[in-house]
Amino acid sequence: MQTHAASISENGPAISVKGLHKKFASLEALSGISFDVRRGEIFGMLGPDGAGKTTIMRILAGLMDFDAGTVNVAGYDLKTEQPGLSDLIAYMPQRFGLYEDLTVMENILFYADLYDMKRGAGLDSRIEELLDFCRMTPFKNRLAGRLSGGMKQKLGLTCALIHTPKLLLLDEPTNGVDPVSRREFWKILHEMLKTGLTVFVSTTYLDEAERCNRIAFINRGRIGSIDTPQNLKKSSKNTMWRIEVSDKFGAIDILKKIPDIVSALVMGPAIHLFTNSKVSREFIEEKIKADLAEAKIGLFSFSPGSPNLEDIFIERMA
């Protein structure tokens, strides 16, 4: 079975999803989504809580059935060929199952046993390689319960990769982890790509999405756009403006009622807004100034802006 899957996946995408639907009672969690993940890339799924990211992840891991569509993972059609999938993928859910009363090494050996890996020089070498990759060697005899949040995530990654999978599924792996540990975790992922690993990761963090080779925007079970972070930031067909006002949240309600404004979002001290590209600066600036003045909100500045990923996400998913 493993040879069959490997030979197919080497000639096609690591993941191929077409027209995927999933319902929970009357709630449509996934509404006909389609995407491909190329071998050897980090593919990110960016969206808010409740967007459908974990549902997709569980389907890809073979842990949840789906209602319609086709899902091919590592060469397997998940409707007909799941039995050999566990040898080729690793799934790290949001709450990875570590045993806090076991040491780092004992946790790793436990997961090695789950995959029926034989004890000996080969396994010892794999463990040493992963501990070194994840900067965990000095802590191999420490109880998992005494590790920091970031170190627990790295231990979870080590356990998930013990059987040398071809595909790694990560469901919001750094949620609640401090920024320094998050950066280190992503550095490890990029180093792992050199071994031929493919990574599919879900996240709510914009800075993590920037580290992916390609990302998909998802909200309410629908995918809005798929591309590289760089291309997405340059992809808007609208014009972005940055304005500063005396009452940001009051202004947002007014701006969203102006027909030529596509989206408006508070970003730090300013408001980022997108307008129809056919509308002139003079017209939209005067319209905004007049509408805000009527509500006794001052307009302090109005200038062109360069969109970031959050701007593009809000524009596409509005």
Q: How far is CA 1 from CA 5, 6, 76, 206, in A?
A: 6, 9, 10, 38
Q: How confident is the model at residue 6 (pLDDT cuts 50, 70, 90)?
A: very low
- Name the one residue in this structure whose structure tokens are 């071998």: 39
Domains of the chain: 2-232 (3.40.50.300), 236-317 (3.30.70.100)
Q: How confident is the model at residue 318 (pLDDT cuts 50, 70, 90)?
A: low
Task: Return the pLDDT at 29.
Answer: 96
Q: What is the rounded average pLDDT of the residues 44-50?
A: 92
Q: How many beta carbons lie within 10 A of that of residue 37, not counting itself? A: 23
CA angle 267, 269, 275 (to 5 degrees): 50
The pLDDT tens digits of the residues spanning 133-164 come to 888 999 999 999 999 888 898 999 999 999 98
The pLDDT tens digits of the residues spanning 52-100 come to 999 999 999 999 999 999 999 988 899 887 667 888 899 998 877 889 9
How far apart are the C-alpha atoms of 65 and 171, rounded to whole Å?
18
